[in-house]
Amino acid sequence: MDFFNDLVTNPGITKAMWPAFIETMQMVAIAGVFTVIIGLPLGILLLNTSQDGLTPNKPLNVVLSGIIVNITRSIPFAILMVSLIPFAKLIVGVSLGPVAASVSLTIGTIPFFARLVETALREVSGGKIDAALVMGSTKMQVIRKVLVPEAMPGIVAAGTTTLVTLIGYSAMAGLVGGGGLGRLAYNYGFQRYEPAIMVVTIVIMVVMVQLVQVIGDRIARVVDHR
Amino acid sequence: MITVTDLRKVYQQGDRTVVALDGVSLHVDAGQIHGIIGHSGAGKSTLVRCLTLLDRPTSGSVAVNNQELANVSDSDLRTARRRIGMVFQHANLMDSRTTAQNVAFPLELIGTPKAKIAEKVNALLELVGLTQFADAYPAQLSGGQRQRVGIARALSSDPDVLLCDEPTSALDPKTTDEILALIKSVRDRLNLTVLIITHEMNVVKQACDSVSLLEAGRIVEHGAIATVVADPARRLSQALLPMPGKLPADLPAGVVLDLLYSGSQATEPVISSIARTFNVDVNVLAGSVENLGAHQFAHLRIQLPEGSDITAITNHLLANGVAVTPKEAK
Q: How far apart are CA A36 and CA A102, in angstroms?
A: 13
Chain B residues in contact with A141 by the CB 8 A cut-off are: 109
Q: What pLDDT does B267 receive? A: 61
Chain B residues in contact with A134 by the CB 8 A cut-off are: 52, 54, 81, 84, 86
Please tell me the distance in Å from A69's CA to the nearest CA on chain B: 29
Residue A130 has pLDDT above 50, yes or no: yes
Query: What is the chain B residue with the closest CA to A148?
Result: B96
The residue among A121, A151, A114, A148 whose CA lies nearest residue A35 is A114
Q: What pLDDT does A52 receive? A: 85
What are the residues of chain B with a beta carbon less than 8 Å away from any beta carbon of chain A? 52, 54, 78-79, 81-82, 84, 86, 88, 90, 92-97, 105-106, 108-110, 137-139, 153, 157
Q: What pLDDT does A154 receive? A: 95
At A169-218, the pLDDT tens digits run 998 888 778 888 888 888 888 888 888 888 888 899 999 999 999 999 99
Q: Are the beta carbons of B96 and A131 separated by less than 8 Å? A: no
Average pLDDT of B153-166?
A: 94
Q: Are the beta carbons of A134 and B94 separated by less than 8 Å? A: no
Tell me the whole-structure pTM to 2 decimals.
Answer: 0.88
At A2-50, the pLDDT tens digits run 778 877 788 877 788 899 999 999 999 999 999 999 999 999 999 999 9
Ranking A22-31, B124-133, B265-274 by mean pLDDT, the lowest is B265-274
At B54-67, the pLDDT tens digits run 888 999 999 888 88
The residue among A147, A141, A123 whose CA lies nearest residue B106 is A141
Average pLDDT of B261-278?
A: 79
Report the residue of A135, A145, A223 to disrupt the B interface, i.e. the one with the largest count of B CBs within 10 Å: A135
Q: What pLDDT does B330 receive? A: 46
Q: Give the domains, in start order, of chain A with CATH numbers.
A: 2-223 (1.10.3720.10)
Average pLDDT of B150-154?
A: 96
Q: Are the beta carbons of B153 and A135 separated by less than 8 Å? A: yes
Average pLDDT of B77-103?
A: 92
Q: Are B122 and A208 in contact (CB under 8 A)?
A: no
Q: Are the beta carbons of A130 and B110 separated by less than 8 Å? A: no
Residue A110 has pLDDT above 80, yes or no: yes
Query: How far is residue A3 CA from its own chain's centroid?
Result: 34
Q: How far apart are CA B90 and CA A40, in angstroms?
A: 29
Residue A134 has pLDDT above 80, yes or no: yes
Average pLDDT of B157-184?
A: 93
Residue B268 has pLDDT above 80, yes or no: no
Name the percent of chain B lying above pLDDT 70.
Answer: 98
